[in-house]
Chains A and B, each alone.
Chain A
Amino acid sequence: NAGVMQNPRHLVRRRGQEARLRCSPMKGHSHVYWYRQLPEEGLKFMVYLQKENIIDESGMPKERFSAEFPKEGPSILRIQQVVRGDSAAYFCASSPANGYEQYFGPGTRLTVT
């Protein structure tokens, strides 16, 4: 059973470009969580999704950030018009249901130049 997969592992974007981060949950998991880890800080919750639904996006910036988890395919975290402050490691986690332990992907390290 493959673990949570994220791609790309490293992403470099110039200011103003768009970044798309993908997360494929573990088989059988229908709940996906996105986190951001800034240098020297802990993980910060961004958004919680189930298939085709955003359950909680309270940790996500109101502008430029969006997330989806379609019926088919991976969950996508999209950052439009990236700025230097968006440089961070973005982790995705999945669980079979809410309230169960989450399993983390390897993360995508975004660098904005």
Chain B
Amino acid sequence: EDKVVQSPLSLVVHEGDTVTLNCSYEVTNFRSLLWYKQEKKAPTFLFMLTSSGIEKKSGRLSSILDKKELFSILNITATQTGDSAIYLCAVEGTYKYIFGTGTRLKVLA
């Protein structure tokens, strides 16, 4: 059965800390892996990863995929309170996406 597992489930850090969020997967016919940030509204797209070893970067966020070990990490450096959210990982299989349950990140001032 296809599955996506995120860890940790929740995380509390202080502003300025660096965090690493993990996403491991077992999905047949892997096509891509996506990271989303979900606050009180719908998830917003962060990254789409298809190739191993190529880091994608956007400001303080970066992500990389390892297709051999079947995982991805999302790094956030110099965290801010506005980074507090649920971070969702989704893996695209054939015609559908399998989502993890997310990592709930809380950044304290």
A44 at the interface (CB under 8 A from B): yes
Set B36, B41, B92, B101: member contacting A107, Cβ < 8 A: B41
Q: Is the CB of B101 within 8 A of A42?
A: yes
Residue contact A106 to B96, C-beta cutoff 8 Å = no
Contact A43 B31 (CB under 8 A): no
- Kindly report which residue of chain A lies nearest to residue B2, judged by CB atoms: A45
Interface string of A98-113 (1 = CB under 8 A from B): 1101111111000000
B42→A56 contact, CB < 8 A: no
**Least Cβ–Cβ distance between A11 and chain B, in angstroms:** 16
> By the criterion CB–CB under 8 Å, are A41 and B101 in contact?
yes
Given known contacts A42-B88, A43-B88, A99-B32, A55 and B95 CB-to-CB distance under 8 angstroms:
yes
Chain A residues with CB under 8 Å of B88's CB are 42-43
Interface residues of B in 57-71 (CB under 8 A from A): none
Chain B's closest residue to A4 (CB) is B42
Q: How many residues of A contact B (CB 8 A)?
A: 23
Interface residue ranges of A21-75 to B (CB < 8 Å) = 33, 35, 41-45, 48, 55-56, 58-59
Q: Which of A48, A55, A58, A91 touches B42 (beta carbons < 8 Å)?
A: A91
Are the CB atoms of A101 and B95 closer together than 8 Å?
no
| Contacting residues of chain B (73-88) with chain A, CB-CB under 8 angstroms | 88
9 more contacts with CB within 8 A, not counting A41-B101, A42-B102, A107-B41, are A42-B99, A42-B101, A56-B94, A56-B95, A56-B96, A91-B43, A98-B95, A101-B48, A102-B34
Q: Which residues in B have some Cβ–Cβ distance to A below 8 Å?
A: 31-32, 34, 36, 41-45, 48, 88, 90, 92, 94-102
Q: Which residues of A contact B (CB under 8 A)?
A: 4, 33, 35, 41-45, 48, 55-56, 58-59, 91, 98-99, 101-107
